[in-house]
Each structure stands twice: as C-alpha cells, then as structure tokens.
Amino acid sequence: MRTVPTVLLVEDEPSIAELIAVNLRHNGFRPIWAMDSVSAQRELDAALPDLILLDWMLPGESGLTLAKRWRGHERTKAIPLIMLTARGDEADRVAGLDAGADDYISKPFSTKELLARVRAVLRRRAPQAKDEALLISGLRLDSATHRVSFLDQALKLGPTEFKLLHYLMGHAERVHSRGQLLDKVWGDHVYIEERTVDVHVKRLREAMGAAAAMVETVRGAGYRLTAKPELVPVVEAPSHIA
C-alpha cells in the first residue's frame, strides 16, 4: 500500500492555510496545519513530515528563524522545506535559501505552481536516501550520515551546499552551466535566478577550506569539480560568476 506523503503547513492566515490544505489533500498529500512556531515545533516533536511549507511572517518567531533552527538540528535538518512569503526581493529570496530552504515561493502564487514545487522538491530529495559515499582526492561525502570531510578533517556545509557538492562530486570533471545546476540541484523551474548558483558556490568554497580549489570556475561556461585543480589562483568574475 502506498504511503501518503505528509506536509506540515506552517501558516498563520487561516484562509490561505485552508486553500493550500484542500489542494494538498485533493492531490494525494496529508496536510497538517500549524499556525505559529510553538504549534509547528509541537508537530515536529510528535512526528517528522515528508515536507514543510513554512511562511516567513509568523507571530512570534519568524519562518526564517525556524528554518535556521531546524536545519541546524540533527533530527530535522534533512526535511525538505519550501518557504512561502510576500517578500519578493532578491535579497530576501537569497536569505531564505541561505537559511536552508529548498525552494522559495512568493505570494500570491497559484496552487498549481505550489503543487509542482512540492513534487519537484520531493523528487530531488528522494535520491539522498541512498547509502552512498563519494571520495575524490581526499574529499569525502557520505550521503548516509550527511557528513563531508577533507583529509579526514570534518567540513561544515549548509544543506544546499551539501546538495551542490553531492551533485558536483557525482559528476566530477564535467563542466556544468549555472542553468544546468539549477535544474539538477534546485529543480526544473525558472523562478530562481542563476545568480543563486554563484552565491552558493561561493559559500561552498568558503566551507571547503583547503579543498576549495577543487571547485573550479570555467570562464564563460560554468563550474566543475576536479581532482586536479589548477595551481594558479582562480580570478573571480566581479558580478556574474562567483
């Protein structure tokens, strides 16, 4: 018997919550509604959902604060998370993604778009359940334990940087355009700017420390992960390539 995916909806506006919940229910999901941070935490403590839809503006603690906390906790860090918000500026979108959101939807949005995003995030997250370890030139990524190390020294990566590195290591020595990385790491939609890739590549390099040179910028083409990085320093582009 097929398991019905559970979606924790954290939204303080009852009319919006009811509209989303009805559409989720009619499309094969089991929604659980929480209207603030306290009730959301209570639901998470009781049982982990398959995905979280999290409103940015909540009474008490904001959705951004909750996203950071849940991403930093061992029990909840791997739950797929989509942020819902009326804040549509690029800086706000980047802040939401940096807090650990897998996707970001600006209000108002269509229920068809929301459902497509939910399905896309669940598809992208599914392969991470494999007990897979990748090792390239002393850089090791273990999907089962969600740990990364270089020369046996642990590295601390955010959830998006982990997914990005996982994809690059799984396709080492190949050059990937920013559009290709958006499709493979973030999903096959066009609502996130390609600049988002640059932001997360920069954060990935910062987290990788001595291994950062393995993530190369291929000017005019994109990025690649290589076991034999160039000895000369990479000159960073000032605006569109990190």
Q: Where are the domains of the chain?
A: 6-127, 130-225
The answer to whether residue 176 scores a pLDDT higher than 70 is yes
Residues 211-240, mean pLDDT to the nearest whole number = 74
The answer to whether residue 232 scores a pLDDT higher than 60 is no
Q: Average pLDDT of the chain?
A: 83
For domain 130-225, which CATH number applies: 1.20.120.1200, 1.10.274.10, 3.40.50.11540, 1.10.10.10?
1.10.10.10
H/E stretch holding 113 reads: helix 111-125
| Sheet strands (E) in the chain | 6-10, 30-34, 51-55, 81-85, 103-106, 133-136, 139-142, 147-150, 153-155, 215-218, 222-225
The reported pLDDT for the residue numbered 237 is 45
The reported pLDDT for the residue numbered 57 is 87
At 164, is the pLDDT very low, low, confident or very high (cuts 50, 70, 90)? Answer: very high
Query: Tell me, what DSSP letter sits at residue 141?
Result: E
At 160, is the pLDDT very low, low, confident or very high (cuts 50, 70, 90)? Answer: confident
pLDDT digits (tens, 9 = 90+) for 99-145: 778 888 888 888 888 998 898 888 776 544 455 689 999 999 998 88
Answer yes or no: pTM beyond 0.85: no
At 34, is the pLDDT very low, low, confident or very high (cuts 50, 70, 90)? Answer: very high
Name the residue type at position 34. A
The answer to whether residue 92 scores a pLDDT higher than 80 is no
Q: Which CATH architecture has domain 6-127?
A: 3-Layer(aba) Sandwich (3.40)
The answer to whether residue 209 scores a pLDDT higher than 80 is yes
The answer to whether residue 233 scores a pLDDT higher than 60 is no
Q: Compute φ and ψ for 93, nearest 5 degrees.
A: -65, -45
**Do the domains spanning 6-127 and 130-225 agree at the CATH topology level?**
no
Which residue from 141, 145, 146 is spatially nearest to 167, judged by alpha carbons? 141
At 87, is the pLDDT very low, low, confident or very high (cuts 50, 70, 90)? Answer: low
The reported pLDDT for the residue numbered 1 is 39
The reported pLDDT for the residue numbered 15 is 92
Residues 204-228, mean pLDDT to the nearest whole number = 92
